[in-house]
Amino acid sequence: MIKETIKPYSILAQEFDLLVDEPMANHTSFKIGGTADLLALPEDKIQLRNLIKTACELDIPITLFGRGTNLLISDRGIRGLVVITKQLKSKIELIEADSNTKTIIADSGERLSKICRFAVNNSLTGLEFAAGIPGTIGGAIIMNAGTNSGEMSTVVQSIEVLNQDTFEMKTIGKNLLNFSYRHLNLPGIIVSAAITLKKGNQEHIKQIFKHNLNRKNASQPVSAASAGCFFKNPAVGRSAGELIDRAGLKGMSVNDAAVSEKHGNFIVNMGNASCQDILLLKHQVQKIVFEKFSIKLETEVRIEGE
Ligand code: EPU
């Protein structure tokens, strides 16, 4: 176990007022995860850059998260420095792009739900698909979060990225961003994002948001401790949730880890589930779905820690 007694760690902890041996269960929607050696919640870009630069110089490994809504952390936790970007937020700005569109600019720690409300208040259409998706705007972009009706790649205009080798911040336009299904390949840290949306009818936009939110609340266990959909949908054919449902796996459990009765693609923490419980359940679900349908379900949730 790495402690403050190890010099580089204590230097970093003191210089940036970091949390030491912080339980990650307090910082993830799954409410699971052992301790991070060091944990930082930077509040602006400059603080973030100085922290990353110093940690690199001290050779301390760095792991980055947003609000921890799509994350499963091991029971042994994470060695080195964990940086949570959810406090990285300042004013949300709105720029007139052309006669039909406007661009929203926000720091990466801003909640996606807040950006959605901002879009509605300014009669902007294009983010309705994101109704009810938890997490930060930066997290949503790096995961290319989406639903059946859209994904982040369709609205991102550009992102400002902190390069982890040069520690410079640079804006990267959408044409240079390599988005794929629930993923953005990016060698750096998103510090802010520009989202371009079309001008529309506010009442109509509101209605679509409401419809999508109602649909989500009716079909998903939104108030349970989970990390959202656990598996990616297969490229063709039925969705992961439907396959798991058809295999009769809803309600299957390992200790306090259970397949949701409401939606087959949600694994929920009923109280005291460990990461180990979730992983055992995940393997059982994958095995049975493969035996029944010859389809290998891939994990969507990001798994971190030792
Ligand atoms: N279905 C079942 N049983 C279930 C769950 C679903 O039969 O237990 C059926 C539904 O009746 C429907 C089909 O499967 O016919 C698809 O279900 P749903 O509309 O719930 O969509 P999904 O493909 O399971 C995707 C996203 C969700 C997003 C919804 C809503 C993925 C992996 N999942 O789910 O995203 O909220 O669409 O648009 O892409 C997430 O990424 O964390 C997430 C929850």
Cβ of 233 below 6 Å from ligand 1 = yes
Question: What type of residue sits at position 108?
Answer: S
- Count of residues in the chain: 306
- Residue recorded with tokens 């694994």: 267
- pLDDT tens digits, 104-122: 999 999 999 999 999 999 9
Query: Can you give the pTM of this predicted structure?
Result: 0.93
- pLDDT tens digits, 196-232: 999 999 999 999 999 999 999 999 999 999 999 999 9
Work out the burial of residue 4: count CB atoms within 10 Å of its CB; fewer than 13 is exposed, 13-18 middle, 19 or more buried.
middle
> Which atom number of ligand 1 is nearest to the Cα of residue 147?
38
Rounded Cα–Cα distance for residues 188 and 191 (Å): 9
Confidence of residue 4 (pLDDT cuts 50, 70, 90): very low
- Hey, whose CA ends up nearest to atom 35 of ligand 1? 147
